[in-house]
C-alpha cells in the first residue's frame, strides 16, 4: 500500500527547557513520513530550497520514503520556523516564521503520487489541500489536518475541503473553534455532518480521542514518557502512525481504528523523547511494537462488579 503526504518540509530552530537546536529537520510532511513509513510505502510531496542537502534527504528517505516529488526550488530557501517551548511544554512562543519556498507552493504530483491508496493532507492552505484531493481520485482513504489560522481567515474554504475527506485530525480547541461547539462530542458530530466519517481530537499530553459516524467513541491517554524533550512534530507523528497503520489494513472497522490510535500514540511518544526527528529516525519496529503492547497493558482493566450502596 502507498501513502502520499503533501505538506511542509522545514528547518526548525527550537528551544525547550531541556536544550536547544539551532537548525534541525522538521515540517509536517517530514514527521508524518518518518512515522507512516513503518507501515506503508510513503511518497512525500513538498518544496525545499538550495539549503536542503543530501543529509536532509537521507533522513527523509528513512525506511524508504520516496522523495521524487519533493520539489527543489532553485535559488530558494526552505521553510523555516523558530520557536520556544516553556516549562510545561504546552505553551510555546513563535519567534520567527519564514515561509520562503512554501509561500508559493503549488503541489506537483507525479502519476504515482496521484494513484496512492491513501492520502494525507498535512496542514497547508485549504485551497491547496482541495486541489491535491481532486488530483487523487483513486485514494480509498483521505485524512487531513489543519490549524486555527485557517479557521480564522479561510473557514469557508476549509469547510469545502473537509467535505471531501474521510477523516479530520485537529486538536480539541480547533474542533470547538471550527464548529462553535463547546463540547468535544458535539463538535465532532458537527464536523461529521460536513462529510468526514472519522474525527480525531489530538489532546497533546492528555492523549487523543476518536469519534466515528457509527457512534463509536474511543480515547487513549498519551503514553507516560519520563523524559519529554521536544514536542515539535508530535501531532504529525501521531497522524503518521494513525494513517500509516490504516493504509496497511484491508478494512477500516472499529477494531482497526482503535489499533491505529494506539500506533499513533506510540509514535508520538517516541517523537517527544528527543529533538526533532532524532529519535524517530533511528526507531525500530520492535520498539514500536513493544510500546503499543505497554500501552495496551496500562490502559486495560477488568470489570469486577460489586453491590453498590443505595
Return the higher-pLDDT residue of 304 and 154: 154
Q: What are phi and psi of 283, to 5 degrees?
A: -65, 145
Whole-prediction pTM value? 0.96
Task: With both helix axes pointing from N to C terminus, report the angle between 155-162 and 126-135 in degrees, rounded to the nearest 10.
Answer: 20
Asked if residue 303 has pLDDT above 90, the reply is no
For residues 42 and 56, give the distance between their C-alpha atoms in angstroms, rounded to a whole number: 16
Neighbours of 264 (CB within 10 A): 29
Show the domains of the chain with their CATH numbers.
2-298 (3.40.1190.20)
- Span 237-276, pLDDT tens digits: 999 999 999 999 998 999 999 999 999 999 999 999 999 9
* DSSP track, 239-277: HHHHHHHHHT-S---HHHHHHHHHHHHHHHHHHTTSSTT
- Span 164-194, pLDDT tens digits: 999 999 999 999 999 999 999 999 999 999 9
Residue 30: how many CA atoms within 13 Å on its side-chain side? 27
C-alpha cell at 294: 505497554
DSSP H or E segment with residue 55 = helix 54-60
Strand partners, 3: 42, 118
28: left (phi over 0), alpha (psi -120 to 50) or beta: alpha
Q: Which of 105, 74, 90, 96 shows the shortest CA–CA distance to 23?
A: 96
For residues 266 and 81, give the distance between their C-alpha atoms in angstroms, rounded to a whole number: 25
Q: Which of 50, 156, 160, 42 shows the shortest CA–CA distance to 100?
A: 50
Amino acid at each position: 500500500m502507498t501513502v502520499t503526504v503533501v505538506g511542509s518540509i522545514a528547518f526548525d530552530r527550537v528551544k525547550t527547557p531541556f536544550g536547544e537546536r539551532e537548525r534541525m529537520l522538521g515540517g509536517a510532511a517530514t514527521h508524518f513520513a518518518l512515522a507512516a513509513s513503518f507501515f506503508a510505502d510513503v511518497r512525500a510531496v513538498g518544496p525545499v530550497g538550495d539549503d536542503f542537502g543530501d543529509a536532509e534527504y537521507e533522513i527523509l528517505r528513512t525506511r524508504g520514503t520516496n522523495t521524487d516529488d519533493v520539489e527543489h526550488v532553485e535559488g530558494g530557501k526552505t521553510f523555516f520556523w523558530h520557536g520556544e517551548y516553556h516549562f510545561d511544554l504546552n505553551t510555546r512562543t513563535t519567534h520567527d516564521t519564514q515561509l520562503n519556498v512554501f509561500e508559493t507552493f503549488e503541489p506537483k504530483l507525479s502519476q504515482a503520487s496521484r494513484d496512492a491508496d491513501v492520502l494525507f493532507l498535512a496542514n497547508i492552505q485549504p485551497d491547496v489541500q482541495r486541489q491535491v484531493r481532486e488530483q487523487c481520485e483513486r485514494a480509498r482513504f483521505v485524512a487531513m489536518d489543519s490549524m486555527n489560522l485557517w479557521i480564522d481567515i479561510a473557514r469557508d474554504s476549509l469547510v469545502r475541503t473537509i467535505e471531501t475527506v474521510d477523516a479530520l485530525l485537529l486538536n480539541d480547541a480547533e474542533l470547538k473553534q471550527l464548529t462553535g461547539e463547546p463540547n468535544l462530542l458535539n463538535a465532532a458530530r458537527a464536523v461529521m455532518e460536513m462529510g468526514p466519517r472519522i474525527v480525531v481530537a489530538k489532546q497533546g499530553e492528555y492523549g487523543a480521542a476518536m469519534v466515528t459516524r457509527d457512534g463509536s467513541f474511543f480515547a487513549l491517554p498519551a503514553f507516560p514518557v519520563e523524559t519529554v524533550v521536544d514536542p515539535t512534530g508530535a501531532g504529525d507523528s501521531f497522524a503518521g502512525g494513525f494513517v500509516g497503520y490504516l493504509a496497511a489494513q484491508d478494512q477500516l472497522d472499529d477494531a482497526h481504528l482503535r489499533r491505529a490510535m494506539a500506533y499513533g500514540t506510540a509514535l508520538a511518544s517516541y517523537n517527544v523523547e528527543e529533538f526533532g526527528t532524532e529519535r524517530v529516525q533511528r526507531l525500530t519496529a520492535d520498539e514500536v511494537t513493544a510500546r503499543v503492547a505497554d500501552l495496551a497493558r496500562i490502559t486495560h482493566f477488568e470489570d469486577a462488579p460489586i453491590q453498590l450502596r443505595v
